[in-house]
Structure 1
Amino acid sequence: MSFSVPHGDEYLDVDLPGCSVTVAELPGGDPIDVREAAEDAVADPHGEPLADRVDGDDDIAIVVTDVTRDAPDGVLVDVLMDELAEVGVDRDQVTIVIGLGLHGPMDEEQIEDELGEYADLAENHDPDEVVEVGQVGDVPVEVYEPVAEADRVLTTGQSEPHQYAGFSGGAKTVVIGAGGEAIIKFTHGPEMLSQDAVKLGTIDGNPFREAVETAGEQIGLDFCLNVLPGPEGFLAASAGDSGAVVRDLAEDARDALAYEVEDEYDVVISGVGAPKDAQLYQTTRGITYVVLSDGAPVKEGGRVVVPAVLDEGYGSGRGEDRFYDWLSNADDAESCYQAMLEGYEPGAQRGFVTVRSLRHADAYITDSEDPELVEECLMHARDHVADAVPMGSKVLVVPKAPKTLLV
């Protein structure tokens, strides 16, 4: 059986003769016109309309996602700017903050591509230039200074299945994307991530999500505009109170993105695609989203195969550096996992969930520009997908793993 899997901005055609192949087809849905859906969502929000939350003399911070996400932030910002103009907010009262977390900064070309006419209003978040605005337990909630100083804080982005938060988006874009190391360390540390309720697709009762939403309230997040990505295009938009927005889109996601796993497989081929497969840090989502899902389709000792470009190596940024240091210096997944249980610096959490997954199944990264890097980091490199799949294997293909709920 032949099939296609994402590889950068294109697709690889794969044929596995002699294997039993099942493709995880998602219910999906009809793609929306993002601008029209966003305008409708802002006109009918969860909670008060934006016009009732903002005064004409307010200084506004809009926190958007970075290049590791493929959210249509430029369109969403444009919709918000139209609404702000209606209440008398001028362009020069708005600062757009790119929520990097501990990822590397975006360059001028990337910012222009994402934000278009609003690129001149944008600046990269700096996790070292933060102001404490509250606490979650004993942990300080810090946020990038321009966000802390704004009269009103808005956010755009997408709500999609997320390894820790259940679904991304909402307050997470501000709390983590524009936050300081303390809250990132707390929410992404081994004590938090080893809890059963911290998992893909789970919101209610998820302590990670609860911490993020509490921190968002302390930061003063006023309004959220998010979209739901689907297999092809975007499927829905929602606006208003951030927690309600995430829950709204999560309900749509469970209808559109869930695939019921009915068996165990020798091999799972996990598609990631652009922009995430440009770097190993983000590519490992193709491993962890499969192994640590509720459906958990790959049998113990099996393989997860992820085609990826890796033209950016392991990635750039503080978090990516820490991820690479842990994996490249480890002898094996089990010893690395046990060492990381004792603690690690924020950003290294992607290494933690990766080695947690590698204790269950081997990972093969194929079709990459940097096979040496893959081999350095406890994974195996192969030239092509077919080279990583033993003859006679029972195979599940998950074409877009980061946008799939395996249940």
Structure 2
Amino acid sequence: MKKIELKYKDSECMIEIPDKNLAGILNSNDLPEVKNADEEIIHALENPIESKPLCELARGKHNIVILVSDITRPVPSYILLPPIIEELIRSGADYDNITIVFGLGYHRKQTKEEMEKLVGHSIYNKVKCINHDIDDCINIGTTSRGTPVDVFRPVAEADFIIATGNLEFHYKAGYSGGNKAVLPGVCSKRTIESNHIMMIKPGTMPGKCEKNPMREDIDEAGTLAGVDFMVNAILNSHKKIVKVVAGHPIKAHREGTQYIDKMYKIKLKKKVDIVVASCGGYPKDINLYQSQKGLENASYAVKDGGSIILLAECKDGLGEKLFEEWMIKAKNTHEPVKWIQENFMLGAHKAAVICTVLERIKVYLVSSMSDEIVKNIFMHPVKSPQEGLDIALKEYGENSSVLVIPYANSVLPYVED
């Protein structure tokens, strides 16, 4: 019998799995933190991937915009920005020529205190910092897939654009980072929705860029916007920098994804009957909207008709108004999938994503939500992962296979076709 501790809210809980059933425990293969972050960033800027060095590219530019992630992302912008700005100054730019634009996508505007925290006190007091305004965007073209590309005016009017961010799996666009700083970062509502509706098309999934319509559309939008250079940090599970990639907005991004794959992508010989998955505890399991990432990742390891025992406290319930409305009003798991095709709505889109999983997999949910709510959203409430596992083992038989993913929000299992 194997005893395994799993994160749940701000503590741990235990599960016991018979040795004969345990197919494995999937954990990240963390790369070590770089010894000197500044040196790592400077080296990336001076030796970019498929690009001239930043100092050379930026020479003679008078309206430089740096795209920076908002407070909802774990990007260490306060570490990335000083070397970038030093290179810009070395190229002949003045601090007055540089604007930092926080890519909010569809998120709320940030306070001055939040902006200062993200970039650091020194940069905040030297460089103009502004929030993206979703209602002040101008059209710069249309992608080959029909997405109208409306970009925040100060970005569209810049003569040099640097995209910054961090790389991690994205549940439908393959990976974060790269041109996602533009779309959805600094685009209009109609542009974001036009791109996001592609998430229901074949090929959209975590860990995949090529032949992923959503990612390819994002990259095309970035090209239309004229992103000149990108700088992305790669973080291990402790949120420490293990690598910085810089250079061509697409080619440097793709090289960066290889480091994510090394740490978080785990190949399986075959899918299993049952996956026990923890989202990683608080704050990753603060609501179901956030916990969806763990459910999505775990689903790639489960056979059709199999089960996931998901640990997600959801102290804030479902977590998003439209998402909650769609999940509660749906009479079956197919309705949200049908609704999103007829009328795409941000927020509600995750109802369709979760229901796509629920159409082929049974989910036992360990949470603080009431049994009634859990049943209303087509999941099966259980008080502990052990209770869920015991039920699933009875259902699939004494020889059923069980896989454990202690940090399902980060780790991506996959089985090659």
What is the TM-score normalised by the length of structure 1?
0.86
Corresponding residue of 1:36 = 39
- Counterpart CA distance in 1 for 2:27 and 2:200 is 30
Q: Which amino acid aligns with 1:146?
A: P
Per-residue CA deviation, residues 215-236 of structure 1 (Å, 9 max, x unaligned), is 1011111111112233343432
- Counterpart CA distance in 1 for 2:386 and 2:60 is 59
2:52 matched to 1:48?
yes
Partner secondary structure for residue 171 of structure 1: helix
Q: Which amino acid aligns with 1:157?
A: G
Deviation at 1:376, TM superposition (A): 5.6
Deviation at 1:201, TM superposition (A): 1.5
- Counterpart CA distance in 2 for 1:313 and 1:114 is 28
| TM alignment of 1:212-361, pairs within 5 A | 212-232=218-238, 233-262=240-269, 263-273=271-281, 276-291=284-299, 296-310=300-314, 312-315=316-319, 320-361=320-361
Contact 1:310–1:370 (Cα < 8 Å) also in 2: no
Cα distance change, pair 383–361 in 1 and its aligned pair in 2 (3 A): same
- Counterpart CA distance in 2 for 1:122 and 1:369 is 40
Partner secondary structure for residue 284 of structure 1: helix
Deviation at 1:371, TM superposition (A): 7.9
Per-residue CA deviation, residues 88-141 of structure 1 (Å, 9 max, x unaligned), is 333343322222211233344443432222456433323222111111134310
Contact 1:61–1:95 (Cα < 8 Å) also in 2: yes
Identity, % of aligned positions: 28
| TM alignment of 1:118-197, pairs within 5 A | 118-119=123-124, 121-137=128-144, 138-189=146-197, 192-197=198-203
Cα distance change, pair 167–362 in 1 and its aligned pair in 2 (3 A): same
> Match for 2:216 among 200, 206, 210?
210
Cα distance change, pair 11–243 in 1 and its aligned pair in 2 (3 A): farther
Q: Which amino acid aligns with 2:40?
A: A
- Which stretches in structure 2 are left out of the alignment for 5+ residues? 394-400
- Counterpart CA distance in 2 for 1:65 and 1:80 is 15
Partner secondary structure for residue 34 of structure 2: coil
Per-residue CA deviation, residues 357-397 of structure 1 (Å, 9 max, x unaligned), is 11122334435588886566444555544444326744322
Corresponding residue of 1:24 = 26
Cα distance change, pair 205–24 in 1 and its aligned pair in 2 (3 A): same
Contact 1:328–1:378 (Cα < 8 Å) also in 2: no
Cα distance change, pair 371–193 in 1 and its aligned pair in 2 (3 A): same
Deviation at 1:209, TM superposition (A): 1.8
In the alignment of these two chains, the number of paired residues is: 396
Partner secondary structure for residue 262 of structure 2: helix
Cα distance change, pair 182–87 in 1 and its aligned pair in 2 (3 A): same
Cα distance change, pair 162–392 in 1 and its aligned pair in 2 (3 A): closer
Cα distance change, pair 344–399 in 1 and its aligned pair in 2 (3 A): same
Per-residue CA deviation, residues 286-331 of structure 1 (Å, 9 max, x unaligned), is 111222xxxx22233433333345455544xxxx433233223212
User: Which one has a bigger Cα radius of gyration?
Assistant: 2
Contact 1:272–1:306 (Cα < 8 Å) also in 2: no
Q: Which amino acid aligns with 2:242?
A: L
Per-residue CA deviation, residues 131-172 of structure 1 (Å, 9 max, x unaligned), is 111111343101122212222211211122222222211001
Cα distance change, pair 69–364 in 1 and its aligned pair in 2 (3 A): farther
Contact 1:267–1:395 (Cα < 8 Å) also in 2: yes
Partner secondary structure for residue 353 of structure 2: helix
